[in-house]
Amino acid sequence: MTNSYAFPGIQRDKAKRARNVIDAAVDNRRQGKNVMCIFKAAIAATFAFVLVGMCFVSQASAQCGSVLSSNVESIQPQLPEGQPQFMPVSFPVPGSHNDQIVGFWRAKFISEGSSGIPDGTLVDNPFVEWHSDGTEIMNSTRAPVTQSFCMGVWQKTGKSSYELNHFALGFDTSNNFVGPAQIQEDVTLDKKADQYTGTFKIDQYDPSGNLLAEVVGNITAIRITVNTTIQQVL
């Protein structure tokens, strides 16, 4: 026999369970919405963070470009304190490429006031090279056996004036060493810088430094260029 009270109780239990299921579903749905909201918020925050980072990188790159173009020193590496810092240096030289004396010349040494040598005598007719580093070399017309090459140093003494200190090693025709010779010059360039004139003094010494002979006189020179002909240097 069926209990008359059983059905309503069962119905109530079913209704309660159904209500619980519905409530659970609603709660789950609400929780799902919250999770989605949190997830969406996290995505939005992350996207915003990425945008901010991109803007920062863009600004940083622009700033570096400005620094590189306007203040190079500010990006130079800094050495630890106490360590030496090496800086580029330059050393001065007696001459420079702007010195008008620099170049290739044909010179004449004419005796004037020398003891035992008539005035006007051609003592030497060398090729001369004045270098931008303040050195000089001469190819003399003396016989090679007596040493025809010799070298010197020069410095500027005025707007267009120069002095030269030059040394040579002298030999006789039997290849015997006579001794060192010193040639000193004071010369001045003309306005076109294609000629110079001045005075010279040649002192010949023995190996012990005793003066054997002295020749003094005047010197003239013409500049040799790529257009100079052989007739002009004879």
Q: How far apart are CA 32 and CA 44, in angstroms?
A: 18
Q: How far apart are CA 95 and CA 93, in angstroms?
A: 5
Say whether both 33 and 144 belong to one domain. no
Say whether both 204 and 112 belong to one domain. yes
State yes or no: pLDDT of 210 exceeds 80. Answer: yes
pLDDT of residue 19: 63
Query: How many domains does the chain fold into?
Result: 2
Residue 26 falls inside a structural domain: yes
Q: How confident is the model at residue 196 (pLDDT cuts 50, 70, 90)?
A: very high
The range of the structural domain enclosing residue 27 comes to 6-75
- pLDDT tens-digit readout, 86-140: 555 444 444 444 699 999 999 999 999 999 999 999 999 999 999 999 999 999 9
Q: How confident is the model at residue 16 (pLDDT cuts 50, 70, 90)?
A: low
Q: How confident is the model at residue 1 (pLDDT cuts 50, 70, 90)?
A: very low
State yes or no: pLDDT of 169 exceeds 90. Answer: yes
Say whether both 125 and 29 belong to one domain. no
State the average pLDDT for the chain: 76
* pTM confidence score: 0.59
Residue 93 falls inside a structural domain: no
Residue 83 falls inside a structural domain: no
Strand pairing category for 103-111 and 211-224: antiparallel
Three-state DSSP class for 18?
helix
Q: How far apart are CA 139 and CA 150, in angstroms?
A: 7
| Rounded alpha-carbon distances, angstroms, from residue 226 to 86, 99, 222 | 43, 19, 13
